[in-house]
A = this chain, B = another copy of it.
Amino acid sequence: MFGTKGAMTSARLVESMLDLIQARGYSGTGLNTVVEHAHAPKGSLYFHFPEGKEALGEKAIELAAARFRALVIDSASEPETPGDMIARVIGVLTGILTDSDFQLGCPVSVVTLEMGAQSERLRDACANAFESWITPVTEYLIAHGHPPAAARTLATAVVSMVEGAMIVSRAQRSVEPLRCAAHALTVLVDQRATEIAETSP
């Protein structure tokens, strides 16, 4: 649809929107700030996103969803225990928090909380983002011996715990809540695997 330059501008706008949502949320992010942050020409935003802020926000959520999904799938690719997978994901998130001096958060959480009551389009993008993380964790747990229904329950709890721990860690400016999450989740995912192994014929 656009030439290379146009595609690059569009990608920079989405990337800037994502950066700003992570730091300060959706409502507090003005479109002029997005254009400045992206070093994009004035007018480029309405050229690439004629539907405006909601469409740009949706693309930012989709980008965040794809990145975290890639991290989950990458962390699940080594033939280790589920606890090792959890530790690797939480290790990366801990690095993001400390490298940013606790200034970044999950964009999907904040958009859910700000826009869930106001924009079905953004709420739907957030629901899909969470689902895109729960699904590969479920598949991974099934591959490691958890029964399907239990794996889905546990994977949903894993995603919830990681989301919550990111928030509590950011508020407290401490990685301790993420460490506690890793510990609790490891008990859950590995112990179950152990139980299953022990009760297998």
Smallest CB–CB gap between A193 and chain B, Å?
Answer: 13
Whether the pair A156, B168 counts as a contact (CB closer than 8 A) is yes
Q: Which of B102, B110, B131, B181 is within 8 Å of A157, CB to CB?
A: B181
A180 interface contact, C-beta 8 A: yes
A64 interface contact, C-beta 8 A: no
Residues in B with CB closer than 8 Å to A161 are 157, 160-161, 164, 181, 184
A92 interface contact, C-beta 8 A: no
With both beta carbons as reference points, the residue of chain B lying nearest to A103 in the complex is identified as: B117
- CA distance in complex: A160, B162 (Å): 8
Residues in B with CB closer than 8 Å to A103 are 116-117
Smallest CB–CB gap between A172 and chain B, Å?
Answer: 5
Number of copies: 2
Whether the pair A117, B173 counts as a contact (CB closer than 8 A) is no
Contact A157-B173, Cβ < 8 Å, known A112-B105, A116-B103, A167-B163: no
- CA distance in complex: A110, B163 (Å): 12
A196 interface contact, C-beta 8 A: no
Residues in B with CB closer than 8 Å to A76 are none
Whether the pair B114, A171 counts as a contact (CB closer than 8 A) is no
- CA distance in complex: A70, B113 (Å): 23
Q: Which of A143-158 contact B (CB under 8 A)?
A: 152-154, 156-157
Whether the pair A164, B159 counts as a contact (CB closer than 8 A) is yes
Whether the pair B171, A116 counts as a contact (CB closer than 8 A) is yes
Considering the complex of A and B, which 3 residue pairs feature the smallest CB-CB distances, nearest first?
A164-B164, A27-B28, A160-B164
